[in-house]
Structure 1
Amino acid sequence: MSIATLAHRVEMALDSILPVDRNPSPVIQAYLGYSSGAEIIIRGRVLADIAASPVNPGSSVFANACAMARNFATWELANIEVKCGTVNAVTDEEGYFRLALPRSNFRHGENYITLLNYDCEVAADAMVTSSLARFGVISDIDDTIMKTEAWALHRNIWNTVTGNAHTRHIFPDSAELISQLHDNINPVFYVSSSPWNLYRFLTDVFARNGVVKGPMFLRDLGIDDNKFIKSSHGSHKGAAIDEILAANPELPFVLMGDTGQHDAQVYLEVIKRHPGRISFVALRHAGYVDADDEAALKALEDSKVPCFQSSSFSDLDAFNPGQD
């Protein structure tokens, strides 16, 4: 028996014996969806209701830590039937669901997700790529948009635990560049190794700092039968980018990232897998760059895809990645 299989069985055993309300009040956490061909993809999670801890700009480190801990103190509800219109799905063991709605039937503000046998309803919203879009944007979050110092575990944990949605630092140059690229028409997607537990927190931080709204592709940190974490940093990002490109086959894309978490390696492999689909790469200098990253950065510079590297995106001259 592998260690991952053993860990998965231990997790399931703990889930079965830990005290829990056997009749929990469920809540639907609906993630912003996106268009994919003739479908609208709506993802989300069903959890037992846990009251949020209010925070403000002056909250103490302890209060912030308690509020952050609540994001991870979730009780996932498995095997719950989820419905939106005529489309049904069942939550998996971590409470996640995925609905593929007919694009022709989707109307903003008119689609609702409900749970079978529960009085629970939430609006389903999605970003629908416009036929007028010239290109799309895919951006990392940690140390590309929001300061986390993710390359150093102790700093990352400290920043995550001690800050809150009012105090976390967003790089103004990133917010400005994304706004410029978005131009009120071009779709923006966010790919991060942060867990889905932080979805509500991240959307709050973005809204408070005027960062363009867009679908997020975060990571499931649960244990399954094959490995401790459902996907590695690189494989998760690469797979998410593949999914976004497949959903928008007619668009070239700009990739934004940083040098602190091997984005150069991930983006280089994306360029190899999808020749002609990436029109520009912008990387913020952050953290330590190892030999593999140096090699990937050199390969990016030698590729036919324009690549920008700097400590600030403000140094990037205006450009139009949608034009040849």
Structure 2
Amino acid sequence: GWGRPDQVWLTGRVLERLAPAGARSADRWWRNVRATLQRVASREVAGVELQLTIGGCTARAVSDNDGYYAARVDRLTLAAGWHSTQVEPVAPPAHATGRRWSSDVLVVPGDAPLGVVSDLDDTVLHSGVTNLLVAARTVLLDNAATRVPWPGVGALYRGLAEGAQGRSPAGTGAVPVFYLSTSPWNLYDLLTEFLDRHRLPRGPMFLMDWGLSHTGLLRGHDHGHKRERLETLFATYPRMRLVLVGDSGQRDAEIYRDAARAHPGRVAAVVVRDVTTPDSARARAVHAALGELGRLGVAAITCADTSDAAAFLTGLGLCHPSTVEKVRAARDDDRRHPH
């Protein structure tokens, strides 16, 4: 969940069972395939009425046909930082194994001046989403311990979260990081475990529901999802300027350009990880989008190396100068030990 001191949004999913946690780099390929299939073939529980409690206030929600639930809680007086929400079925299903669970909620002040929004696939970690066979192999055969990060990305994002003063936000949400991706919610546990393993800042995650739509077509990779979530963040935090981070493989550059065009002065910087072939049509499209960002007054860069991103962001006063050396050291370590 996420929100402001006076209002939070709580989301979750009711499943019959969870995929196994605690991935290891030594896990055999067949174990990873089995875990992936368990995630994809999740058994959702519909029609469960839930009571959600946070900050002494409660709300009710009912899981839909895909097991998802969502609720908004108003009239709160929460401090900035992470909070715990208690979730309890009003009438637990007969086969339920637990009567109560908790989820974390990040509360960010409504007047927070700066935030970070980052894509995940091929930005934070290698996924190969532009190549169907590579992406399928990665999802099936890898786990949170074997997925490969953008070398140095953990140090880069910690530098962004600590801000220009180089001090840890200590969970206050002073420089919050939101993760925005078209990955399916079925991979939520794998992605959170990956972020923890590589010491990336905790943050709310906005993923997608993959499956058959009412038209019978497969849902997923809907770039409208990213645009809608960005609009929600702009509206929720009206004084917040956003650092937007994505990759060149998808349409992140164009989405971020459109956001800057629609919200003048609200985009602090754009960083696009370069994962495309030079002089390709996709590379030219990214170059054009970044050129337009420059004409809109938004500093933007495309780069393959996190140290270049760190130098760029430090030059804009968004990271402490020590971030550059920290990112270089972390980058070299990740290259030596990618897992």
Question: TM-score higher than 0.5 here?
Answer: yes
Indicate how the Cα distance of structure 1 residues 187 and 51 shifts in structure 2: closer, same or farther if over 3 A, else same: closer
Indicate how the Cα distance of structure 1 residues 50 and 216 shifts in structure 2: closer, same or farther if over 3 A, else same: closer
**Are 1:200 and 2:172 an aligned pair?**
no
The match for 1:92 is 64
What amino acid does structure 1 have at the position aligned with 2:100? Answer: E
Q: Are the aligned partners of 1:141 and 1:191 in contact in 2 as well (CA < 8 Å)?
A: yes
Among 36, 44, 51, the residue aligned to 1:68: 36
Q: 131-140 vs 266-275, which deviates more?
A: 131-140
Indicate how the Cα distance of structure 1 residues 82 and 247 shifts in structure 2: closer, same or farther if over 3 A, else same: same
What amino acid does structure 2 have at the position aligned with 1:113? Answer: V
Aligned counterparts of 2:245 and 2:142: Cα–Cα separation in 1: 24
What amino acid does structure 1 have at the position aligned with 2:297? Answer: K
The match for 2:50 is 82
Among 87, 91, 100, the residue aligned to 1:117: 91
- How much has 1:124 moved relative to structure 2? 2.9
The match for 2:262 is 273
Among 40, 43, 52, the residue aligned to 2:20: 52
- How much has 1:199 moved relative to structure 2? 0.5
Aligned counterparts of 2:35 and 2:298: Cα–Cα separation in 1: 42
Structure 1: gaps (5+ residues): 1-32
Q: 67-76 vs 172-181, which deviates more?
A: 172-181
**Are 1:253 and 2:242 an aligned pair?**
yes
TM-score calculated relative to the size of structure 1: 0.82
Aligned counterparts of 2:216 and 2:251: Cα–Cα separation in 1: 21
SS in 2 for 1:197: helix
Q: Are the aligned partners of 1:139 and 1:257 in contact in 2 as well (CA < 8 Å)?
A: yes
**Are 1:104 and 2:76 an aligned pair?**
yes
Aligned counterparts of 1:51 and 1:285: Cα–Cα separation in 2: 33
Q: Between Structure 1 and Structure 2, how many residues are aligned?
A: 290
What amino acid does structure 2 have at the position aligned with 1:95? Answer: G
Q: Are the aligned partners of 1:77 and 1:93 in contact in 2 as well (CA < 8 Å)?
A: yes
Aligned sequence identity (%): 29
SS in 2 for 1:48: coil
The match for 2:297 is 304
The match for 2:140 is 161
Aligned counterparts of 2:153 and 2:48: Cα–Cα separation in 1: 39
Aligned counterparts of 1:121 and 1:219: Cα–Cα separation in 2: 25
Q: Are the aligned partners of 1:143 and 1:286 in contact in 2 as well (CA < 8 Å)?
A: yes
**Are 1:137 and 2:134 an aligned pair?**
no
The match for 1:41 is 9
TM-score calculated relative to the size of structure 2: 0.79
- How much has 1:262 moved relative to structure 2? 1.4
**Are 1:320 and 2:294 an aligned pair?**
no
- How much has 1:98 moved relative to structure 2? 0.8
Deviations 1:53-80 (A, max 9, x none): 7642111222111111111111111121
Structure 2: gaps (5+ residues): 93-97, 163-168, 320-339
Among 196, 211, 214, the residue aligned to 2:203: 214
Indicate how the Cα distance of structure 1 residues 245 and 112 shifts in structure 2: closer, same or farther if over 3 A, else same: same
Deviations 1:97-117 (A, max 9, x none): 112123626586653011121
Let me know the Cα RMSD of the aligned residues. 2.3
What amino acid does structure 1 have at the position aligned with 2:86? Answer: Y
Aligned counterparts of 2:23 and 2:106: Cα–Cα separation in 1: 29
Aligned counterparts of 2:268 and 2:87: Cα–Cα separation in 1: 37
